[in-house]
Amino acid sequence: MTEEFRPRILVFCCNWCSYAGADLAGIGRYQIDPHFRVVRTMCSARVDPEWIMEAFRLGADGVMVAGCHPGDCHYIGGNYRTRRRIALLRSLLSQFGLDPERLHLEWISAGEAEKFASSVNGFIRRVGALGPSPYRETAARTDGVAAEEAAHA
């Protein structure tokens, strides 16, 4: 069983900068590793920590949040909240036992198609090297545990 590990990566992009940057990367035909899905939010600050934890619970191997550069957020200071939240969330996730590298924050403007491509590629490579998230196993095992414990009771 030496099948190549394909990480599952979720990328949140804010509507005004990063999603436009992703779009441009598509138009510009940049080569991007296909192992990711994009979710568009109005602002990076809309990304609730619960969504990120839910992604990990469901077996994501890495989550990237992309927003406008400091000073450029469409809602003035949304990304300032985002960077505090992500910093705190990274230290929380590392207490949960996840490598904090699995959560990544990146500032990508509407014109930075190349940066979108290279940061997604870089992130997928780093997560790929970490291997599957340990929560993948618990996600797959939960039902088994419940069944086993029911048999016990």
Collapsing DSSP states into helix, strand and coil, what is residue 97?
coil
* Alpha carbon distance 14, 99 (integer Å): 24
Cβ proximity to another protein: between 21 and 128 the closer is 128
138 is a contact residue toward another protein (CB under 8 A)? yes
Which residue from 38, 10, 20, 26 is spatially nearest to 108, judged by alpha carbons? 20
* Alpha carbon distance 22, 110 (integer Å): 8
Which residue from 93, 83, 87 is spatially nearest to 57, judged by alpha carbons? 93
CB of 62 to ligand FES, least distance (A): 20
Residues 78-117 touching another protein, rule: CB under 8 A, are 80-81, 83-85, 87-89, 91-92, 95-99
Q: Which of 24, 78, 104, 112 binds ligand FES (CB under 6 A)?
A: 78
Cβ proximity to another protein: between 24 and 89 the closer is 89
Q: Which of 10, 25, 44, 108 binds ligand FES (CB under 6 A)?
A: 44
Which residue from 35, 37, 39 is spatially nearest to 7, judged by alpha carbons? 35
Contact stretch for another protein (CB under 8 A) within 11-19, 24-32, 117-125, 126-134 = 126-134
CB of 64 to ligand FES, least distance (A): 14
* Alpha carbon distance 58, 62 (integer Å): 11
Residues 56-75 touching another protein, rule: CB under 8 A, are 56-57, 70-71
130 is a contact residue toward another protein (CB under 8 A)? yes
- Ordered alpha helix ranges (H), the chain: 18-27, 49-57, 78-95, 113-130, 134-152
CB of 77 to another protein, least distance (A): 6
